[in-house]
Amino acid sequence: ARIKDKKYAMDIKTTYRIGNKLKGGFTLGSFRGSLRTPLSTRYSRFPYFQYAKHWVLGIIYTRKKGVEQKRIYSIDDLPNINSVITNLEIILQEKYRIANYVPGSGNTANIGSVANIKMLRNGTGPFTKYGDKVFQDYWINYLRREDAERQGIRRPYRNLREYLIWKKKSKS
């Protein structure tokens, strides 16, 4: 198929640095939403699986110190408003290449990214070695502790190593 006949998803995500390290990675969308309800358009224009690829445009920045972030300006002040950020860096990676195997936020069902700047730049997260299909299957089947308890079952896995063991056992 020609490229013009395909759909590509683009998520724009931000995070910031503290010193040379990231405050945290990106959240890469819900693992209970689009992946588990493939025909849903709740979080996107088209169903998740209609997209040929899922890209993340990641914006990493450093917060400027000493800038009044909460001051209210008039439109006449526009040319004199100082930026509240510096050291802007933009990355573009396929989602699975920067995804981590742990959620991105403590109390929600969001996929987390790696929080290592070099890995984000190079797209060398833990799923890179295994591909997009493994990434999707991992997160479709991932259960948080409280989700497993609600279902009255034991969590099948908590990380990529345990997932690979679980997957091998479930095939036999």
Please report the pLDDT score of residue 138 as a whole number.
Answer: 98
**CB-facing half-sphere around the CA of 75: CA atoms within 13 A:** 0
- Strands 27-30 and 99-103, by their bridges, are unpaired
pTM above 0.75, yes or no: yes
Please report the pLDDT score of residue 107 as a whole number.
Answer: 72
Please report the pLDDT score of residue 43 as a whole number.
Answer: 81
| pLDDT tens digits in sequence order for the chain, 172 residues long | 567 789 999 999 999 999 889 999 999 988 888 888 888 888 889 998 899 999 999 999 999 988 777 889 999 999 988 888 999 999 999 999 999 999 987 777 899 999 999 999 999 999 999 999 999 999 999 999 999 999 999 999 999 999 999 999 988 7
Distance (Å, whole) CA 119 – CA 138:
20
CATH topology of domain 3-127: ECO RV Endonuclease; Chain A (3.40.600)
Q: Please, are residues 140 and 133 in contact by the beta-carbon 8 Å criterion? A: no
With tokens 């689009």, the residue in question is 34
